[in-house]
Amino acid sequence: MAPGKGMFKSTMGYSFVIFLSRVLGLFREILSAQILGGGLVMSAWSSAFLLPNLFRRILGEGALGTALIPLISHTLELEGPASARRKFSTILIWLTFLLPTFICLLILTYIPTIKAVNYSFHDVNVIGEIQSNVGFQNYKVLLESSGFRKSILNTLILALMSLLAIPLGFVIACGANGVRNKKAQTVFRLGFYMPNIITGVSIVLIFQYILQVDNGLINLALSNILGKKIEIGWLSDPSLTKVGASIIQIWTTLGYNMLICLAGLQSIPTELYEAAMMDGAGSFRRWRYITIPLMRNNFIFLFITGIISGFSRFTDLYILSGNSSSGKPAGSLQTILMYIYQYSFENPSYGLSCAGAVILFIIVFTVTAINLKVTKTI
């Protein structure tokens, strides 16, 4: 297997596991809220997990691997295998002291997950007590609900619309790759990556102003261009709210997509372009037969992570809906996660909410598996 292909598969697997951890985290929050409530006990519980969660972010979500792999590789290259093994053993000994933390995280994450799956097959009251075994009744109720089916459709549409950030990011990456001055290229990249640094709540508040009907910047710009007053309800018209919400998501993820595409472009050997130019290939043919094929893995990676990100949207849509899980206006922004939230906190029915979370996991798992299967056959 080629090294690049193996790295791509590893990246895909890691991305999926990270998303799975987010779904499991949703199960954990549902159970924690119903068992502990919202008082001092819940505050103490959250405070107790500050330190373990810090270790999880450092050790389990990429920070350690990002620091450790280059260090060991550098030591192996300059000092040899013996020195690399000693350095790795030293790091491993230190990590051993953190093993109790990992055990606690394992127990406190997967036990609530198993309970959540179990709850999806039961009628559960508001204090978490199982009343009766209802089998697949919770799933049947959800799948027969027009509101839940609409939330699935809304989620899918929003996820697909947000994928427009991939071609836009690729175009911007092509422009950045053409900038030969390193300092100018760095400024260019930072400018487009800034939205990833800004908090989601701040981004939503900014775009609520930009997309206003009366004095929004987009409507004002269109009015100046067309020479007449334009009043488009980007966030108030049910037929356009998905467009407005997608503008926010595209703007937020554009920098990330640009950086991934730029990394792919810079990894293409320049010898290929030089050979193509010697054979008389023009710019378009070089782009068509060299750039696009060699960028395929980057595009597939961005597509899968974009779909996963689209299915996990909640905070921005919740704020756009007026801090309501109903997906206002007219339920046009209610996603599966918002539907689950509604039956977890606003109208508690824990059996239904857990069943919804399981269905969400099945959908995302299926989409990811299909994409990975297609990737292997291409």
**Residue 59 pLDDT greater than 70, yes or no:** no
Q: Quote the CA–CA distance of 378 and 375 in Å, as a whole number.
A: 5
Contact 215, 234 (CB under 8 A): no
Q: Which carries the bigger pLDDT value, residue 96 or residue 295?
A: 295
**Residue 274 pLDDT greater than 90, yes or no:** no
Least confident of 44-48, 109-113, 296-300, 327-331: 44-48
Task: Give residue 43's pLDDT band: very low, low, confident or very high (50, 70, 90).
Answer: low
Task: Give residue 151's pLDDT band: very low, low, confident or very high (50, 70, 90).
Answer: very high
Q: Is the pTM of this model over 0.75?
A: no
Specify the pairing of strand 122-124 against strand 130-133.
Answer: antiparallel
Task: Give residue 160's pLDDT band: very low, low, confident or very high (50, 70, 90).
Answer: very high
pLDDT at 176: 83
Contact 238, 332 (CB under 8 A): yes
The answer to whether the bond into 329 is cis (omega within 30° of 0) is yes
Q: What are the distances in angstroms from CA 238 to CA 203, 209, 243, 330, 342? A: 21, 18, 10, 6, 20
pLDDT at 31: 75
**Residue 253 pLDDT greater than 80, yes or no:** yes
pLDDT at 170: 92
Q: Quote the CA–CA distance of 217 and 230 in Å, as a whole number.
A: 11
Q: Quote the CA–CA distance of 7 and 297 in Å, as a whole number.
A: 10
Share of the chain above pLDDT 70, in %: 82
CATH 3.30.470.10 fits 145-378, yes or no: no
In DSSP terms, 130 is beta-bridged to: 124
Average pLDDT over residues 235-243: 88
Share of the chain above pLDDT 90, in %: 9
pLDDT in tens, 128-137: 778 888 889 9
Q: Which carries the bigger pLDDT value, residue 46 or residue 237?
A: 237
pLDDT at 69: 67
Least confident of 77-91, 213-227, 354-368: 77-91
Listed in order, the ranges of the chain carrying CATH 1.10.3720.10 are 145-378
User: What single DSSP character describes residue 133?
Assistant: E
Average pLDDT over residues 298-311: 87
**Residue 6 pLDDT greater than 60, yes or no:** no
Q: What's the mean per-residue pLDDT of the chain?
A: 80
Q: Quote the CA–CA distance of 252 and 6 in Å, as a whole number.
A: 29
**Residue 168 pLDDT greater than 80, yes or no:** yes
Highest mean pLDDT among 21-25, 187-191, 345-349, 371-375: 345-349
